Amino acid sequence: MAAATHLLTPEESHAEPHQEAVVVRFAGDSGDGMQLTGGQFTLSTALAGNDLATFPDFPAEIRAPQGTTFGVSAFQINFGSTAIETAGDQPDVLIAMNPAALKVNVAALREGGLIIADEGEFSQRNLAKAGYDANPLEDESLAKWQLVKFNISQLTMDAVKPFGLGNKEALRCKNMWTLGLALWMFDRSREPIVDWLKTKFAKAPQLAEANIAALNAGHAYGETVEMGAAVKPRHIAAAPAEPGLYRTVTGAEALGLGLVAGAQLAHLPMFFGSYPITPASPLLHHLSRLKEYDITTFQAEDEIAAICAALGASYAGSLGVTSSSGPGIALKTEAIGLAVMTELPLVIVNSQRGGPSTGLPTKTEQSDLYQAVYGRNGDAPLPVIAARSPSDAFDCAIEACRIATRYMTPVMLLTDGYIANAAEPWRVPDMSGYEAFPVTFANGEAPRADDGKLLPYARDERLARPWIKPGTPGLTHRIGGIEKNPGTGDLDYSPGAHAEMTRLRHQKVLGISADIPDQDVCLGEPGAALAVVGWGSTFGPIHQAVRRMRARGADVAHVHIRHIWPLPANLGELLHGFGRVIVPEMNAGQLKTVLRDQYLVDARSLTKVSGQPFRIAEIEGAIAEALEGTAPGNLRSDSTQLPEGDSGHDDGSNVREGLAR
């Protein structure tokens, strides 16, 4: 889920929002182009100056059977004239392109919300595919919502008829017809979309003109046809913003730019070795277009080859980077251990998805925290950083590069599927404000023993070993995965050598806590009655829920952790100052366990493992229960909640868990 990084002031946190925001969800078959439609509507919304957050939600199947519920693709956008922290709890408008899209998404629509349906797709065959016994557009089952229906399919075919397209090609333009109607509804300009279509179909001008005709036809339909009071143009004013250059950015784009910036600040070429996997693949796509910044991208034959190539590049003097999702990170584990053992810099990006195994390829979770912190054989510590939003991924990538090169260590950078695919406005930073961290390679003055022998595993004040490029005269040394002598690097698996090297690697990583900022309180005051502690993409719903509860007088604060391992030096003292601590996570309580282990703090879990992000209301409810003390050992919400030791299930889709003592 995308979450804007706007931090509210105390004054804002005590004021109910008075500015407008609207949530729109486009939903249709996975071949209807809903992601493209949502993306172009996002572009027009950004150009209109609104703040926004998006939520792409698509099936795992490459092409599910047309018209089925498991083939539904949706794109939700929350936009407005105020700061937007989440993609919205409930849509105000649902545009449903077929019965399956309606069935899957209508329950999420707020009561009284608007449904715009393509009645041309509500045939008996399509109704049966979606599991409807009767046509919901005619049987009053949608009475609690406002329903507007018209034959978008036929209207699209009429609009593109002059271009001589076949029925199949003509119907592919109906997403543009729908986009035209949405642009009219929210007072958006068509010009950027027209320019984009001309560029996209530069080699097929007939298709460009057909899509433009469909776009204009949808817009004209809104202007000329009386569809009732429910469908009328609405202008959403621009959101306040600091002066500067802005662009809409997805998490994958921001991450790619941040890695490039990190390599530039380290004065290093970058090598990116990767293997395609959802939702990590877009990072490879974006970086492959940035070769002018001394970036080499390599699509390997498998996950192991990808990370080994990246580690080899680090050995050779480049900044090695690799990426994957949970299953691929599992395959990379032995090579990650090799990076720990050889003490070479390496950035490992994990775009998390639901697991285990193949799990939920296109849905999100935060369930790889244990894997990131602990998931290797032997004592193999490495730093772990988590981005909280698409734009925050830029700074997190730079921080990962800084720590990797300064401490000669692999670093795990955690994002997730929603951060990777979602978009939000991003103020392009002035890079002159970033401090460079240039790398110094070992030369003839490398550390040596009294007898003149090279010491490739001698330590500096950070316990980092020297970075020695292969081929440097006089600095030949042994490297590999077998345990080494603490100084010479010679093979040495004696008890003393292993114990000392294990201690040094552990202390090096723990020492990073002195080189990262103290943990702050995002909203609220230290020592509040309740702290809501989060990490990663839960930032948006937590921040908004805390803001709303503080506006009602609740003594609650929001703490969001970027540095997962090692944890900030002041975090334990900060957490012990709060009356109670709850930890919302899209997993079964992993950060909660880490916090309890490290600080013996009575943290309680609020977990959700449905593949969907938290709703603001779920966290609000948990805050209210925690402050009221109505369920001291067991907080419940609409999400998945399960007390420790309880493996019971509700309805098969939601596992109930509580805040275990």
Average pLDDT over residues 264-273: 98
pLDDT at 96 over 80: yes
Peptide bond into 356 cis (omega under 30): yes
- Half-sphere exposure of 416 toward its Cβ, with a 13 Å CA cutoff? 31
pLDDT number for residue 66: 87
pLDDT in tens, 475-511: 999 899 999 999 999 999 899 999 999 999 999 999 9
What's the pLDDT band for 11 if we cut at 50, 70, 90?
A: low
Question: Whole-angstrom Cα distance, residue 487 to residue 101?
Answer: 63
* pLDDT single digits (tens) 273-298: 999 999 999 999 999 999 999 999 99
pLDDT above 80: residue 194 = yes
At residue 504, what is the residue type?
L
Tell me the per-residue pLDDT of 426-473, one tens digit each, with 9 for 90 and over: 999 999 999 999 999 999 888 999 999 999 999 999 999 999 999 999
Crossing angle of helices 174-185 and 152-160, rounded to 10°: 110
d(Cα 604, Cα 312) in Å, to the nearest integer? Answer: 42
pLDDT in tens, 404-414: 999 999 999 99
Note the pLDDT of residue 64. 80
> What backbone phi and psi angles, to 5 degrees, belong to 533?
-105, 125
- Output the pLDDT for position 645: 38
Nearest Cα neighbor of 308 from 346, 284, 335, 348 is 335
- How would residue 31 be classed by pLDDT, with cut points 50, 70 and 90? confident
Q: What is the mean pLDDT of residues 22-34?
A: 93
pLDDT for 639 equals 45
Least confident range from 18-32, 238-252, 437-451, 619-633: namely: 619-633
Q: Judging by beta carbons within 10 Å of its beta carbon (0-12, 13-18, 19+), is residue 647 exposed, middle or buried?
A: exposed
Mean pLDDT, range 94-115, rounded to an integer: 96
Q: In which band, very low, low, confident or very high, does the pLDDT at 638 lie, cut at 50, 70 and 90?
A: very low
Residues sharing a CB contact under 8 Å with residue 28, sequence separation 6 or more, in sequence order = 34, 72, 73, 74, 96, 97, 98, 101, 175
Convert the pLDDT of each residue in 303-331 to its tens digit.
Answer: 999 999 999 999 999 999 999 999 999 99
546, 524 Cβ separation under 8 angstroms: yes
R_g of the chain computed on alpha carbons: 27
CA dist 485 and 342 (Å) reads 12
pLDDT value at position 30? 86
User: What pLDDT does 9 receive?
Assistant: 52
18 pLDDT band, cuts 50/70/90, is very low
Our CA angle for 517, 522, 524, nearest 5°, is: 130
Residue 651 has pLDDT above 80, yes or no: no
Q: What is the pLDDT of residue 297?
A: 98
Identify the pLDDT of residue 118. 96
Q: Which among 57, 45, 72 is positioned nearest to 2, based on CA atoms?
A: 57
Output the average pLDDT for the chain: 91
Structure tokens belonging to residue 497: 């050598």
Task: Label each residue of 581-608 as H, E or C.
Answer: EEEEECCCCHHHHHHHHHHCCCEEEEEC
Q: pTM for this structure?
A: 0.89
pLDDT in tens, 502-557: 999 999 999 999 999 999 999 999 999 999 999 999 999 999 999 999 999 999 99
pLDDT over 90 (residue 596): yes
Q: What pLDDT is recorded for position 341?
A: 97
State the average pLDDT over residues 384-392: 97
pLDDT at 641 over 50: no
Predicted local confidence at residue 648, as pLDDT: 31
DSSP conformation class of 426: E
What is the torsion angle, in degrees rounded to the nearest 10, for the CA atoms of residue 36, residue 37, residue 40 and residue 44? -170
Percent of residues, the chain, with pLDDT higher than 90:
85
The lowest-confidence range among 45-54, 206-215, 648-657 is 648-657
Residue 94 CA to chain centroid, in angstroms?
Answer: 24
Mean pLDDT throughout 114-126?
96
Residue 222 and residue 184 in contact, taking contact as beta carbons nearer than 8 Å: yes
pLDDT at 458: 96
Please name the residues in contact with 289: beta carbons below 8 A apart, sequence gap of 6 or more: none
